[in-house]
Structure 1
């Protein structure tokens, strides 16, 4: 039986809200609050063991801060039912929830943030939503070539597991 190759993703977060250092500190965290249907569908496609580049948006500098791993596949994002939460969705039905989340854990911190400017220099990233103008999606797939190029540009290696 062949082993399943992990898929690769990019997850965006503002570091002043929740950054890679916070993920390292807490160990495991639900990736919740995603309120875009395409991004939600990407969350629902994630499998345990998948790898995700952790991207700091609205930061100085913006860029990839490290690698996380998916440790729990998609499940119901409970914040949609919390009327006190900024992620509350009064139209979501508990019998058919609209929104999902996954749990992530840190895998590898980059020595320095791989800046968006540096990512734009990588030919593998030319067609990525990250480098396209007007694309604001917070969760999207990354090709294996893009993933490896980011690791190489950051000067890190990921142990095979």
Structure 2
């Protein structure tokens, strides 16, 4: 799940203790949000400025309607911070791991604010982060 750190950062989520992932206005990203269930984990990716995965968050409430959407057609989830990664995993390093991560939605569909991560991709990212 991507956010520009100057708009909403990992530090903001940690300080608040929980947040609502809203404002998504892309159908593929909305479908990814709508598929999430309580207990699912997601990477927190700082986009644009830093371009790096910095933490792991968990879905604490799923199936929400986006509170910023007056028409009620967009999805949202409530999230809580779980773990700041010991080492941030940069987009550059993800792209360099082409054999294992070259097909990630983060790489292939870089404009998606909420993208799917396979189990193999998840494990590789954790390894790159020092977990």
Which residue is 1:68 aligned to? 57
1:111 aligns with 2:86: yes
Which residue is 2:66 aligned to? 77
Q: 2 CA distance for matches of 1:99 and 1:129? A: 20
Q: Tell me the TM-score normalized by structure 2.
A: 0.93
- Cα deviation, 1:125-144, whole Å, max 9, x if unaligned, reads 11112223x63111111001
Which residue is 1:88 aligned to? none
Shift of 1:118: 1.0
Listed as ranges, the gaps of 5+ residues in structure 2 are: none
1:23 aligns with 2:52: no
Larger Rg: 1
Over aligned residues, Cα RMSD in angstroms? Answer: 1.2
Structure 1: 4+ residue segments shifted above 4 A: none
Q: 1 CA distance for matches of 2:104 and 2:36? A: 18
- Cα deviation, 1:1-58, whole Å, max 9, x if unaligned, reads xxxxxxxxxx000011111111111111000100111111111100001010110001
3-state SS of paired residue (2:68): helix
Q: Tell me the TM-score normalized by structure 1.
A: 0.77
Which residue is 2:23 aligned to? 33
Shift of 1:74: 1.8
1:43 aligns with 2:19: no
TM alignment of 1:117-156, pairs within 5 A: 117-122=92-97, 123-132=99-108, 135-156=110-131
Q: 2 CA distance for matches of 1:13 and 1:33? A: 10
Aligned length: 130
Listed as ranges, the gaps of 5+ residues in structure 1 are: 1-10, 82-91, 157-161
3-state SS of paired residue (1:137): coil
Shift of 1:66: 0.8
3-state SS of paired residue (2:45): strand
